[in-house]
Structure 1
Amino acid sequence: MTDKLLRAIDDRVDELTALTQDLVRFPTINPPGEAYTPCAEYIGERLKAGGFQVEYVRGEGTPGDNDRYPRTNVVARFEGKRPGKVVHFNSHIDVVEAGEGWTVDPFAGVVKDGRVYGRGTCDMKGGLAASIIAAEVFIAENPDFAGAIEISGTVDEESGGYGGVAYLAGKGYFSAPRVDHVIIPEPLNKDRICLGHRGVWWAEIETKGHIAHGSMPFLGDSAVRHMGALLQAFEDELFPALDKKQTEMPVVPEGARRSTMNINSIHGGQTEDFRPGLPSPTVPDTCRLVIDRRFLLEEDLDAVKSEVTTILDRLKSDRPKFDYTIRDLMEVKPTMTERDAPVVRAVAEGIHAIFDRAPDYVISPGTYDQKHIARIGHIYDCIAYGPGILDLAHQPDEWVGIEDMVQSAKVMALALRRLLAGGEI
């Protein structure tokens, strides 16, 4: 039975390649959210032809949703012959902008040297195509399976997932008893299982000042200088302390196995828009900073925030006229699925069968839609597994290997066999 299943996937290599090309040809660029609806409808029509029940769910009222750029998600479900567990494959259909530096058309789906090139091939339309082929082949070869298979194409993952998985999770699409196991085909390499991700806290800090003429700064109070004092404190105190915090989580790459903080942006003073190239002759009375703090399973979110606010409060006490506000933008706790969870074991057995070795278990340095499935849907039997090399994501000449997609589809089909058909791999 296993050999027949794998041969059936080998027989559909051209179809897998063409499906990936078709998906890439939808320029689902986020922002603003282009071509979401036609891409979702393409996926839905294909799955409907294979016997799936298809539903389109718009993330109404979520960031960026409007009549011109509706946040259109597709959710498809195939019911087995009798009740059982439900496996859900979730892929995001949005991609980042193409950017400069391409040697091929980023939305043509060019096939060359055993690869499909294009924006989103690696992240993650190749994984979506592999999951569709895996599910279709499994259904054809196991017509009497118990349970159900779901496949979703969701939006806005590149901007937080709020119009996609977060919205669907809030509506019960990622909760028991509807779903038991979730596989997200993100590009973490075909022989690795991603168990979760580090935590993230984004915040905006604003320092206050007093406006005055730039020729007489002593009559004002510079918010930018106050922000400079904060940045210096970060350099002297916080960054060295973060470097010392290590985790037992198998985060990749190695440098991410510690706490980190990035200064995302800084804006101070009046804009130069009204006279391009010339500054405004005023003392800046406000300065805003956005921080991106990534934290570890061993850290408490309140303590993470306190490390920053303690510095701010000390500056307010010690530095004349220093005042600030801080606003949370996003907070997500770290997540790590246990290695003995059913979906982990099933995919691990599939990897062993295809590659003749145990998988590597990794944690992502950044978050992806597993965060919403865990925190909103409360489904913890969830992993990321898919073809593609993560380092290629968002790069010019992004590509996914055809053989990588084939092998990943085989792993996914074998995992379905373990989880739904109860057979040995």
Structure 2
Amino acid sequence: MSRSCNYEADLDRRSSDALESLGKERLLEVLGQLVSVPTVNPPGESYGEMAEVLQSIMEDSGYDVKVAEVPRDYLERYIPQYADHPRYIVMARIGSGDPVVHFNSHYDVVPPGDGWSRDPFRLTVEGDVVYGRGTVDMKGGAATAILAAQAAAIAGADQYGSVELSFTPDEETGGETGVKYLVDSGLVSPDYVIVPEASGSDNVWIGNKGNLWAEVEVRGRQAHGSTPWLGLNAFEGMSRLAVSLSAILSGRLSSRASSHRFADPREARPTVNLGGAVSGGAKVNVVPGRYSFTIDRRLIPEEDIASAEEELRAAVEEAAAPLRAEGYSVELRITSRSPPSVVDPRGKLATALSEAVMRSTGSAPRLTVCPGGLDTRYFQMAGVEALTYGPGDTSYAHAVDERNTISEMMRVARAYAALIPSLLSPCD
């Protein structure tokens, strides 16, 4: 065994021992603090308070901490409606050398909604189950990474590289004013990144599908409801357009499938969802002169945004032609573009993480593509080897009585504790 392998084994043992010593008590202490701060997005509540809490937690964990405020002009560019709500990025680090192993977590959560049987902003522990907004998405993952990172600090991981954590806002609204700013501004330069989103302890996401979001507006002619022949009903026009457009796009997409592995085979196909949001009309006795509906087009890794947009525009033009001949106007507006992003499942990080998960759970994880969007893509698009692996069942994300389990979080924490030494001092 080489010197580096001897070191790795020693660091691994010390890190594992420290993790078990900290145990679920420290995990629940941290998670309780995170859940108790209602970082609801939109609009971005209690972000300053969360930055202070995270700074305190990470300093107590042995890390040097910096807090950066996202510039207002950046907020006005991406989220002008919320620019009066400051955004903060918390960065914590031990060590000063290479390689840099980085964990990134978002701290914002969606609104709790109605129907909770427990306080959404107080951690409730019932046996192995924990309840609270963010326990899955993704304060549970953040607490798990913090536990493993504290164990690494106790074990002396900073002697042979650096362990770094960042905590960012606004994943729930696209990530531009969170991780995108973190990456674009050069605040961090990691070699390996793990995002502790709830992939499940038996699954690693190597990337995610892309999305192309759009809105189609149909304009007719408003009139009194008692004389509809004087108007041109935009709702009826929109409905006809939507049915035609759905048929055109479904026909074009049905033969495509990704070669990458997905948890559900149905996810391996490109999809389109019409009418997620619909607006228009004025009153029951008014012939509507305007209606609009949204389009959510999801791209498999083999597709690209430019081609998907060109295809969508052509499909809208084809579906709109009969309506325009009747006097309707139809306009397509692209509202968001995010390309698909994946990394090599045979890469160094994927191999090391798979081995760490095997040690923690007893079986090798699946390496799949996430059908939704992930903040991980900003690191991947910048050329950084980044993967998503974290505790929890995504069916509980954004749900009433959101929940996770202590055993799930500890399995993932043990995998992190095994991964860090293997990346800081790989055997040669």
Distance across 2 between alignment mates of 1:45 and 1:330: 36
Identity score, percent: 32
3-state SS of the aligned residue for 1:231?
helix
Q: Mean alpha-carbon deviation: is it higher for 164-173 or for 103-112?
A: 164-173
| Counterpart selection for 2:361 from 340, 345, 355 | 355
Q: Rate the CA distance shift 1:345–1:220 in 2: closer, same or farther, 3 A.
A: same
Give the AA of the match of 2:377: K
For 1:212, the equivalent position in structure 2 comes to 223
Distance across 2 between alignment mates of 1:142 and 1:348: 24
Larger helix percent: 2
| Shift, 1:240, TM fit | 4.2
Q: Rate the CA distance shift 1:300–1:46 in 2: closer, same or farther, 3 A.
A: closer
Contact 1:186 1:387 in 2 (8 A): yes
For 2:266, the equivalent position in structure 1 comes to 255
| Counterpart selection for 1:283 from 287, 291, 295 | 287
Residue 225, structure 1, aligned to residue 231, structure 2: no
Q: Rate the CA distance shift 1:308–1:229 in 2: closer, same or farther, 3 A.
A: farther
Residue 94, structure 1, aligned to residue 108, structure 2: yes
Give the AA of the match of 1:381: E
Distance across 1 between alignment mates of 2:320 and 2:209: 31
For 1:318, the equivalent position in structure 2 comes to 322
The aligned runs of 1:10-409 (5 Å cut-off) are: 10-13=20-23, 14-59=25-70, 60-61=72-73, 62=75, 63=79, 64-67=81-84, 69-80=85-96, 83-143=97-157, 145-174=159-188, 178-263=189-274, 264-270=276-282, 272=283, 279=284, 281-319=285-323, 320=325, 321-375=327-381, 378-409=382-413
| Shift, 1:186, TM fit | 0.3
Q: Rate the CA distance shift 1:169–1:3 in 2: closer, same or farther, 3 A.
A: closer
Distance across 2 between alignment mates of 1:58 and 1:254: 41
Deviation readout 1:210-240 (Å, 9 max, x if unpaired): 2233333333322222212211113433234
Q: Which runs of 5+ in 1 are unaligned?
A: 273-278
The runs of at least 4 aligned residues of structure 1 exceeding 3 Å deviation read 64-67, 315-319
Contact 1:58 1:70 in 2 (8 A): yes
Q: Rate the CA distance shift 1:47–1:331 in 2: closer, same or farther, 3 A.
A: same
| Shift, 1:26, TM fit | 0.8
Contact 1:194 1:383 in 2 (8 A): yes
For 1:5, the equivalent position in structure 2 comes to 15
Deviation readout 1:283-339 (Å, 9 max, x if unpaired): 322211111111111223233223332232224433322322211111111111111
Contact 1:315 1:322 in 2 (8 A): no
Contact 1:28 1:94 in 2 (8 A): yes
Give the AA of the match of 2:359: A
Distance across 1 between alignment mates of 2:359 and 2:321: 62
| Shift, 1:39, TM fit | 1.2
CA RMSD of aligned residues (A): 2.0
Contact 1:79 1:147 in 2 (8 A): yes
Distance across 2 between alignment mates of 1:142 and 1:256: 42
Contact 2:61 2:153 in 1 (8 A): no
Distance across 2 between alignment mates of 1:66 and 1:299: 34
Deviation readout 1:32-76 (Å, 9 max, x if unpaired): 211111112111122224442322222224215444x32122112
Distance across 1 between alignment mates of 2:218 and 2:345: 45
Contact 1:233 1:311 in 2 (8 A): no
Give the AA of the match of 2:28: T
| Shift, 1:125, TM fit | 0.9
Distance across 1 between alignment mates of 2:319 and 2:349: 49
Q: Mean alpha-carbon deviation: is it higher for 25-34 or for 227-236?
A: 227-236
3-state SS of the aligned residue for 1:358?
coil
Contact 2:222 2:233 in 1 (8 A): yes
Distance across 2 between alignment mates of 1:286 and 1:387: 45
For 1:275, the equivalent position in structure 2 comes to none
Contact 2:69 2:89 in 1 (8 A): yes
- Residues paired across the two proteins, number: 408
| Shift, 1:153, TM fit | 1.1
Distance across 1 between alignment mates of 2:196 and 2:247: 41
Contact 1:250 1:361 in 2 (8 A): yes
TM-score, scaled to structure 1: 0.90
Q: Rate the CA distance shift 1:240–1:313 in 2: closer, same or farther, 3 A.
A: closer
Give the AA of the match of 1:227: M
| Shift, 1:380, TM fit | 3.4
Q: Mean alpha-carbon deviation: is it higher for 47-56 or for 227-236?
A: 47-56
For 1:276, the equivalent position in structure 2 comes to none
Distance across 2 between alignment mates of 1:260 and 1:123: 24
